[in-house]
Every structure is written in C-alpha cells, then in structure tokens.
Structure 1
Amino acid sequence: MSVETEVGQPEVVQEAVRQADAAAAAAGVTVRQAEPGDLAAVIGLFERTWGVGHSPDKSMLLALDFAGNTVLIATRAGKPVGATLGFLGWADGVHLHSHMAAVVPWQRGSGVGYALKLFQRVLCLRHGIADMRWTFDPLIRRNAHFNLVKLGAEVVRFLPDFYGRLDDVITGSDRSDRFEVCWRLDSPRTRRALAGERPPTWSASDSLPLDVDFERLRVDDPAEAARRREESRALFRSALSRGLRPELTGNNDYVFTTDAADSAPGPA
C-alpha cells in the first residue's frame, strides 16, 4: 500500500497495518487517502457503479476529505480501480459510517474492496474509533458473504426501504431494503474472520435461502424479484423483532439465531 507504520503504535494497529498491506499486495493495488486531484476519478468510479448523478459532487467530497474523513482511492499501475467514502457518525456511539464503495467491473472479486475496507480499519483504529457501520441489500448474496463472513461484521438492524426509490444503475425501481451492520474492529469475531477462520455452525430458529442471483433476477423477472423482496421483508421484520440475528450458513443462506455474535467455531 503501504500503510505507514509508527513507532509505539498499539499491537492491534500494527497487526491491522500488516493485514491491510497484505490485502493490498494480494489485490495488486495501492490504497491511499484521496487528494484533491483524485476527486474527479473518485466521482467517475462512483458514477460508473451507480450512474451519472449518483455521486456526491466534487465540493462535497473535497469538504469531507479536508475534514479528515475516509475518502480513499485504490490504484493499479497508477490507474484508479476502486474508491470508498466514509464519514464519522455518533448515533449509538461514535463510529465511521462507510457509505459508498466502488470497484471497476473488471476488478470486482479481485480483493480491491477488501483492501479498501482494511485500510479504513487501520485509519479508524489509529484514531480510537472501535466500530465501522454501513448498510447493504440483504438479498445480494455476495455482499452478505463479504460483510458477515469475510470481514466478520454483524447485522444490528433491518431498515425497510431505507433510501426510498433510488432509480440508480444497480437498484432500478426495486425497494431499497437494507441491513445495517456493525464491524467491531478488534472483536474476536473480526479477528477470526480476518485470519480466515471458518464461522460457527449457527443454531437456527428460521432460515431464508439465498438461492438465486438476485441482481440478475431483477433484470430477468422483475415480478418474481418483487415477490421475493416482499417475502424477505416480512421474514426480516419478524425475526429481528423477536431478537433473532441473521447469519450465514456454509452455503451462504440466512439463518436466524440467538447465538452470541462472537461464538467460536466448534470442532471440525
């Protein structure tokens, strides 16, 4: 990357730096805080992902960057391939809200998004921020796996139709249902996830198969996608109202459990 190290940093920060550097090296990218000259490229990455007009404008990004928020860019051979935007929040405790993350289509799944997230983690830990939060569409299986399994974040809230109708390239006219996740940056759950350990086998009260590519279904069969959206919304509302938390099975289907979020894996 490299994330600069400093003498006397706590061990958790030093380890976070090593993990972030390893993630960037594995993805073949350099990750850094954006400079004013990078902001046109950051906007381009956001608009390539969500469509023209669906990025903060340059003045807003400049202000967020100037104030020290995480406006980050990932480059390969000097060319931008990913970007992310996060800003401080204080609802339910001070945290970084990681709002947008974009990767060029031909690099998705190559580890660029993971490298960006781990760089954000380093910056948070250096500044004494223990939690990161963000929202994601609960029906997008790859995002659920990335957030809950690869990073070790945990679902804390269901937000039906959180943004209203977005009409962007990704969501179209679909409802903007979201899970809010909390990534406790130095929890046992997170440390195990980042070490590549397998998650527990969760005890389950209810379940929901994620057995289709929902992004493709929205394009190919909007009516069926809408039916699944309504069905899942009812289940999410019911499960979370009863104190159940969604987790993923080894097949990346949802189960709803009261097990502790930091439960350790049992014997193989």
Structure 2
Amino acid sequence: MSVQNENQQSDAAREAYAQAAAAAAAAGVIVRLADPPDMNGVIGLFERTWGEGRSPDRSMLLALDYAGNTVLTAIADSKQVGATLGFLGWSNGLHLHSHMAAVVPWRRSGGVGYALKLFQRAVCLDHGVKEIRWTFDPLIRRNAHFNLVKLGAEVATFLPNFYGRLDDAITGSDQSDRFEVRWRLDSPRVIRALAGGHAPAWTTSEVLPLGVDFEQLRADDPAAAAELRATSRALFGENLARGLRPELNAANEYVFTTDAADTGPVAPGAAGPGSPAGPAS
C-alpha cells in the first residue's frame, strides 16, 4: 500500500515498499496503515504486551493517525497480529520516533515485526523522512541483534532509567535503562543489513558478554539481574563518554569501537524474515 501517488515516489521509496511487501509475504501477513475500525485491536495488542491501561487510548491513536503518523497494523486471516506506533519528532533533526511495537506471542520470531518495521521505513521514505529512532533495553539480547544487526540501526546515546519505574508487564520493578538508536533509512549500513550482508569485524577495545537471558535472570534472580544492570550501566556510560560506540560482534556480545558506523562493504543478497521475539519499537 503506497501513501503517495506512484509517480511522485522516489526510487528509494518504491524499493522500500517492494522490500516491505516481500517481508510481509514471507511472514504471511498484510501490513498497512491502520484505519479507525482497527484502533480497538491496536489497543488490545499493546495491552496484551505491556499490560492493561498501557496503551494510548482510542482518541489519541485516532488523532495521531489523522495527523499522518505511523499507526500500522499487521493482519493474518482477518485478525490483527501486530501493530506499531510512531510519531514525528525534530530534536536533533527531523525523524520518526517509533514508540511502541507489539506482536502476538504465537507470531513472534516469524517475521511480523520485521515486516512492520520495513513498512514503517517505506512510509517515511515516501514522505522524505530519512531517519527513524526508538529506544530499547540494551540487555535484551534478541532485540539488540534485531535492531543493530538485522535492521542496521546504530546506537545514538545511552539513557539511564529513561522512563523511571514502569511497573509494566515486561519491565516490572527493574530500572528502565535504554539505548536510543537511529535508523538512517538509506545509509550504506542499512542497505547492507537489509540485503542480508554481514556486519563488519569491529575494531574493539572492550567487550560486554550477553550470554545470559536477561529476562529469565530478572525473573529467577532479581539480585543478579540488578547487579548486571548496574555493571552494564557503568560500562555503557563510561565508553560512550569516551567517544566509543557499542556494536554487536558475531557472538552477540557488545563491543566498543571508534569505527565508523558505515564501515564495511554493502553485501549482495536477500534479507530473510525475522522479528524481535517480544516487543520492540
């Protein structure tokens, strides 16, 4: 589904819509802009993920949608199985801030989140918006891989306890440390990632292993999870203050580097399906 007349679209937007359509077909869904009748379903998806009362209400979603922001839905067998919400921002440059994304549990890791993200990218390029930003918990390894490797986003900054205590169905009483990432939609890094290319071997100075399933650790041993949270917070803060960027290596460990984000060739190939196993924005 195109937002603008096809004759008005840039080559980048046309290609982005084609990539989004291929990702949706691979995931077995239709992704489109949400219509007013879809909003109750969008709310249901957000509340299933974060808990009752954690979604914007219907009037807010309708207003955001009417103003032209990305309220998107993914549909399979006439049922909504995924949704995402993003709105325009202009801090440090015009961008879309992607705030919420949710997929029903039985469709996670099946490409629905990837298809939603690629459609969001296409809509932005269709309107001349070249960057999407969002936040995620850096200790959730699968989301780190999805964001930094599969999509080709890059860490812009570290935000300790960004939202304060959320007490939602995901974070509980844990502190809400977040990376803000920027997805430069037509950059060599993103083109390489969406083509299925491998990330470069980063020049590194320090490594933070992420071998533990942090969500399980948080449930089983809150004290150990809190210790890892404190250790990682110090490491992220110190290294970013020194001008080092966090990236993921082939073992899904954080490494800190001064390499340019677009280091490495753009590799040919086709990006396969995928999605975050759980919520990501």
After TM superposition, give the deviation of residue 266 of structure 1 in Å. Answer: 10
Which amino acid in the other structure matches residue 49 of structure 2? T
Q: Distance in 1 between matches of 2:217 and 2:22?
A: 35
Asked if 2 retains the 8 angstrom alpha-carbon contact of 1:199 and 1:265, the reply is no
After TM superposition, give the deviation of residue 86 of structure 1 in Å. Answer: 0.1
Which amino acid in the other structure matches residue 70 of structure 2? T
Asked if 1 retains the 8 angstrom alpha-carbon contact of 2:192 and 2:266, the reply is no
Unaligned runs of 5+ in 1: none
After TM superposition, give the deviation of residue 3 of structure 1 in Å. Answer: 4.5
Corresponding residue number in structure 1 for 2:23: 23
Which amino acid in the other structure matches residue 201 of structure 1? A
Corresponding residue number in structure 2 for 1:252: 252
- TM-score (norm. length: structure 1): 0.97
Q: Which has the higher contact order (CA 8 A, sep 6+)?
A: 2
CA spacing shift, 1:76–1:210, aligned 2, 3 Å:
same
Q: Distance in 2 between matches of 1:53 and 1:11?
A: 41
Corresponding residue number in structure 1 for 2:63: 63
Runs of 4+ displaced beyond 3 Å: 2-5
Q: Distance in 2 between matches of 1:3 and 1:128?
A: 14
Corresponding residue number in structure 2 for 1:118: 118
Unaligned runs of 5+ in 2: 268-281
Q: Distance in 2 between matches of 1:251 and 1:18?
A: 31
Q: Report the RMSD for the aligned CA atoms in angstroms.
A: 1.3
Asked if 2 retains the 8 angstrom alpha-carbon contact of 1:64 and 1:71, the reply is yes
Asked if 1 retains the 8 angstrom alpha-carbon contact of 2:188 and 2:266, the reply is no
Give a deviation string over 1:203-260, Cα, whole Å, max 9, x none.
1011100011101111111110000000000000000000000000111110000000
Task: Verify: 1:131 aligned to 2:131, yes or no.
Answer: yes
For residues 148-187 of structure 1, what are the structure 2 equivalents within 5 Å? 148-187=148-187
After TM superposition, give the deviation of residue 18 of structure 1 in Å. Answer: 1.1
Asked if 1 retains the 8 angstrom alpha-carbon contact of 2:154 and 2:181, the reply is yes
Corresponding residue number in structure 2 for 1:242: 242
- TM-score (norm. length: structure 2): 0.93
Q: Distance in 2 between matches of 1:263 and 1:93?
A: 23
After TM superposition, give the deviation of residue 8 of structure 1 in Å. Answer: 5.0
What is the SS of the residue equivalent to 1:75?
Answer: strand
CA spacing shift, 1:201–1:163, aligned 2, 3 Å:
same
After TM superposition, give the deviation of residue 7 of structure 1 in Å. Answer: 2.7
Which amino acid in the other structure matches residue 176 of structure 1? S
After TM superposition, give the deviation of residue 265 of structure 1 in Å. Answer: 5.0
After TM superposition, give the deviation of residue 12 of structure 1 in Å. Answer: 1.0
After TM superposition, give the deviation of residue 13 of structure 1 in Å. Answer: 1.2
Q: Distance in 1 between matches of 2:83 and 2:9?
A: 26
Task: Verify: 1:196 aligned to 2:196, yes or no.
Answer: yes
What is the SS of the residue equivalent to 1:7?
Answer: helix
Q: Distance in 1 between matches of 2:33 and 2:84?
A: 10
Q: Distance in 2 between matches of 1:28 and 1:208?
A: 36
Task: Verify: 1:226 aligned to 2:220, yes or no.
Answer: no
Which amino acid in the other structure matches residue 179 of structure 1? F
Corresponding residue number in structure 2 for 1:72: 72
